[in-house]
Structure 1
C-alpha cells in the first residue's frame, strides 16, 4: 500500500503579481507602497508620464517601474500585465491596496475554476472602512449563475479592485487605448464575456481604498463618452437606444454630461465601423442590469412626486 505525499501549495508570489498604475501621486504613494510591498508578491508599477516625482518615489522604494512617455490612461495596465510572469494579476490604482488573505483566496478560486477570469474585491473606503456603494450593488447582483461559481455574477467590475487571469486579459487585448480612462471597465468586461469568460464579486477579497478626488471632474466626460461608445459597439439597436436615453437622463451623470456626449458623437463614425453585436443572451443579461439601473433612477422621482401629493 502506498500513500501519496500531499503537494505543497504553490507560493502566492508564484501565482499573483500586483500591477500598480500611477499618475502624479508622489504625495500619497508611500502609504500605498508600505502595504503592497508587505504582500510579498511581485510588484510592477506602470507610470502614466507623471510630472511630480512619482517615479522617484517608486525607484527609491525599490519597485520595478516602467515610465510611459505619455499618459495613455487605462491601457497602461496592459504594459504591466504583459510584464507579469504569474498566471494572475491584481490590478491596483495608486490610492489603494489589497489584503493578502484575499489575494490567496482569489488565486485559489482561479486555480479551481478555469473559466473564471475576474474576481472583484469588496472595497472598503477610508480609515473608517466604509463599504463602497458599488460593492453593495455587486453583492445584490440579480443575474443568474449558470456556471456554479463562488460569488455573485458580474458583467462589469472596478478596474483597480480586480484580480484577473492573465491569459484571458491578453486573449481579448486588454484595455483599448482609444477609451483612455473613465468607465473603462466596460471596454474590457464585454470582450471577456463575449469570449466566454466569467466574472464574480467575492467579498472575502478586500481592497482598502483611500480615494483621491484630484481628477474626478476631468474624468467624468470620458465616462459618459465611453459608456455610449460601448453601447453602440456591442449592443443591438433597441438596447443601445434605451441605454443611451437612460444615461442622458441620469442626474448622477450631469457633471460633464454634454461634453462627453459631444466627444461620443465625434468618435461615433469609427465606433459604428467597428460595431459587432453581442449574442442575444448577453444582451438579455445586460437588460436585467439596465432595469436595476432604471429602478434606482425612478425611486427618487417617485419620492419627489409623493411629497407633492
Structure 2
C-alpha cells in the first residue's frame, strides 16, 4: 500500500532464555455479522502381528488464517494480482478482508469481506481493524502490491508457527519481482549481507508477515497511533517481552516491488517521531538516550538532503514532546534475550 500524501486524521501532538537452535471506526462493513469487539525425527515404529493398527490415517490438520490487506485504491494493476495469488493458496482455511483506508475498496474479489474507513487512519490501525474482522489462529498481513509466487506459502508459514509454540511471528524472505534481489531493509536483522540465512529475529518487516493471533491479541496488536513507520519494532519488542520469539524463514519467498519509503511526503518526520515513541514506550529510561543517540548519528550519516534532515529533526522534536502513549517497559531479562539473539535494543 502506498502512503503518499497521507496525513494523520488528527494533529500529531516466560519461556526462559532464548534457545538459539532454534486500532478504528469503520463506517461501512459489507458483512452484517462483523463484530468490532473481536480483536480477537520420531523413531520409526516397528509393526508386529500383535500391534493394533488404526483403520485409517488421521486427517491432517488444516491451519486457519485470517488475511488482512489494506488499500487506498492507488494500485489498480498490482492489487488484483496480489489478491489472486492470495486466494490461490492451498491447504489452509483462509478468510480475507480488504480494508479501504479512507475509501471504499474498488473491485474486490468475490467472497472477500471489505471494510470502508471514513478517513485514513494509517497503516497500523487499518491493520488492527482488519485483524479484528477475520478469524483464524494465525493472521497474515499482506501488502496490496505483494505477490505469493507459490500456492503453499501460507501452509509453510503455518508449519513454522505450529512447530514451536514460542514463535509469535514468521517473516518470509521478501524479494523483488526479479525473484532474486532482497533489499537490506527487508532482512530483519543487523547482519543482512546474506538474505538466505534463516534464524531467530527480534524485529519484522510489517508488510508481509504471519503472526500468531493469540500472541498478537495478548500484546494489544499494532500501535495504531503510529500511523506509519516502526510499528513492527514496537510490536516485536512487546512480543519478546511476553516470552515469544520471531523467526526469519528465507526458504519461503514473497515478491514485493522495490519501492523507496522516502517517496512518502511524511516519511522522515514520522520515522523520527516514531523512533522516539518506540523508545519511550518500551525501554528503561537508562537505555533511551543511547538508543536515540545511535539513531541520530546514523540518520545524519544516511540522509543526504538538508530538507529531509530538517524534517527528521522536526519529527524527533515531536516525539520528545510526547504522544507516545502508555509506557510498558521491557524487563532486563528481555533485554538480555534480545542481545543474545543478535540485536540489543540500542540499535
Provide the TM-score with structure 2 as the length reference: 0.71
Is the partner of 1:245 in helix, strand or coil? helix
Change (3 A) 1:101 1:27: same
Change (3 A) 1:82 1:276: closer
Matched, 1:279 2:279: no
Cα distance between partner residues in 2 of 1:18 and 1:88? 9
Change (3 A) 1:17 1:276: closer
Cα distance between partner residues in 2 of 1:57 and 1:213? 27
Q: Is the 8 A contact 2:234 2:282 kept in 1?
A: no
Change (3 A) 1:240 1:254: farther
Change (3 A) 1:292 1:101: farther
Q: Which one of 269, 280, 286 corresponds to residue 221 of structure 1?
A: 269
Q: Is the 8 A contact 1:95 1:212 kept in 2?
A: no
Higher relative contact order (CA 8 A, sep 6+): 2
Tell me the equivalent position of 1:197: 244
The root-mean-square deviation of aligned C-alpha atoms, in Å, is: 2.9
Unpaired segments ≥5 residues, structure 1: 142-149, 294-309
Q: Which one of 118, 128, 153 corresponds to residue 69 of structure 1?
A: 118
Q: Which one of 159, 166, 169 corresponds to residue 108 of structure 1?
A: 159
Give per-residue Cα distances to partners, 1:45-98, cap 9 Å, x unaligned: 112113xxx71222x555321111111111111122112221011110111033
Cα distance between partner residues in 1 of 2:151 and 2:81? 16
Once structures 1 and 2 are overlaid, which stretch shifts more, 78-87 or 17-26? 17-26
Cα distance between partner residues in 2 of 1:42 and 1:273? 32
Q: Is the 8 A contact 2:65 2:136 kept in 1?
A: yes
Tell me the equivalent position of 2:74: 25
Q: Which one of 65, 82, 94 corresponds to residue 144 of structure 2?
A: 94
1:123 deviates by: 0.5
Cα distance between partner residues in 2 of 1:273 and 1:209? 32
Higher helix share: 1
Cα distance between partner residues in 1 of 2:190 and 2:275? 22
Provide the TM-score with structure 1 as the length reference: 0.79
Q: Which one of 28, 39, 43 corresponds to residue 96 of structure 2?
A: 43
1:270 deviates by: 4.1
